[in-house]
Amino acid sequence: MKHASMKLPLFSLIYLFFLSSCAAVLPDPNTLRTPEERRSARIKCMALYTAGGAAGGAVLGGLIKGRKGATVGAVAGGALGFAYAWGHCLSYYSTLNSEPVTGYNETVQDIHYDPSQGYVVKIEDFSLSPSEVAQGGTVAFNGKYYVMAPEGTKDQDVTETRVLEFYDETKGEFVELGRVDRNITVAPGRRGADGQFDIPEKVPDGRYLIKFIVSSNGKQDQIQRELFVRQRLAQGPAIIKQGEI
């Protein structure tokens, strides 16, 4: 065990180098113009990161438990690796757009904003539809937020962030799989945000969290919604037979 622990730092360096090499060969999501280009990028990204997860699990398992451990590690790394790969490839699997909803004066009246409050960032609403989905499906999200500042303030730099988390049963907690930032410049007021998350075919069943974060001028607000990925979903309402409760 001592011999294995001495090698772990070297493994970590090799694994990190592998992952950084993956990112270097992938296309910039902002340059993808067609569904075919996005689909190709998804396939390449998922293949690279799932291979990395399996290889990482095999090496780590081999260092700790020998040949049998390497096999088990590869299987575990490959299975959970689809979830982590989805996180790394999130920019190819999710979209986000936002547009003005109400201008400065109308928003001031709606939220009773006072200039003495200074900069204010607030997410008013965020929802997923559906909240339970099968692999290969798509989840739409809708949100609404406002960014306010004293009257006469110029357009503000705003960062809209999507975060994906997965409930890891072995750790008993949610772990972050990936996040995507979108930087925009907007006028103070209320904005509507919408987009979607496409669910890869091989991600594991389980509980996921999708977070929406808005930040500007040192202020930040966030909201999260739970998403359940199930292999099989009920088709229509259940039929209750006579005598059943």
Q: Tens digits of per-residue pLDDT, 171-229?
A: 899 999 999 999 999 999 999 999 999 999 889 999 999 999 999 999 999 999 999 99
Strands (E), 85-149: 94-102, 120-129, 132-133, 138-148
In a domain, 27, yes or no: yes
Domain shared by 129 and 209, yes or no: yes
Cβ count near 243 (within 10 Å): 5
* pLDDT value for 79: 55
Higher pLDDT, 56 or 24: 24
Could you tell me how far CA 45 lies from the centroid of its own chain? 15
- For tokens 């190819």, what's the residue? 92
Q: 222 and 145 share a domain?
A: yes
Q: pTM of this prediction? A: 0.76
Answer whether residue 13 is part of any domain: yes
User: Is pLDDT of 148 > 50?
Assistant: yes
> Residue 42 domain-assigned?
yes
| Burial label, 9 (beta-carbon count in 10 A; 0-12, 13-18, 19+) | exposed
What is the dihedral angle through the alpha carbons of 197, 202, 204, 207, rounded to the nearest 10 degrees? 10
Residues 83 and 98 in one domain: no
Number of structural domains the chain divides into? 2
Give me the mean pLDDT over the 232-241 stretch: 45
Mapped to the 3 state alphabet, what secondary structure does 35-51 carry?
A: HHHHHHHHHHHHHHHHH
> Which residue in 127, 131, 158, 132 sits closest to 143, CA to CA?
127
| Residue 239 within any structural domain of the chain | no
Please give the pLDDT value at position 170.
86
* SS3 category, 240: coil
- pLDDT for position 86: 93
Query: Taking each helix axis from N to C terminus, what angle separates 2-25 and 35-88, rounded to the nearest 10 degrees?
Result: 160
Q: Which of 55, 88, 121 is the last residue of a domain?
A: 88
Stronger pLDDT, 220 or 70, i.e. the higher one: 220
In terms of domains, do 103 and 223 share one? yes
Question: Whole-angstrom Cα distance, residue 215 to residue 121?
Answer: 7
Quote the distance between the C-alpha of residue 88 and its chain's center: 9
128 within domain boundaries: yes
- Are 63 and 156 contained in the same domain? no
**Measured on CA atoms in the order 31, 35, 39, 42, is the torsion positive or negative?**
positive
- 11 plus 110 within the same structural domain: no
More confident residue, 120 or 18: 120
Same domain, 9 and 102: no
- 8: three-class secondary structure by DSSP: helix
User: Stretch 134-151: mean pLDDT, rounded?
Assistant: 95
Q: Determine, yes or no, domain membership for 238.
A: no
- Same domain as 110, residue 51: no
CA–CA separation, 108 vs 12, rounded Å? Answer: 52
Inter-residue contact 209 to 227 (CB < 8 Å): yes
CATH, residue 109: 2.60.40.3880
The angle subtended at Cα 79 by Cα 141 and Cα 174, nearest 5°, is: 50
Residues 138 and 113 in one domain: yes
39 located within any domain? yes
Would you say residue 5 has pLDDT above 80? no
Q: Is 122 found in the same domain as 32?
A: no
Residues 71 and 107 in one domain: no
Domain containing residue 110:
94-229
Q: Note whether residue 244 is domain-resident.
A: no
User: The tokens of 107 are what?
Assistant: 């928003």
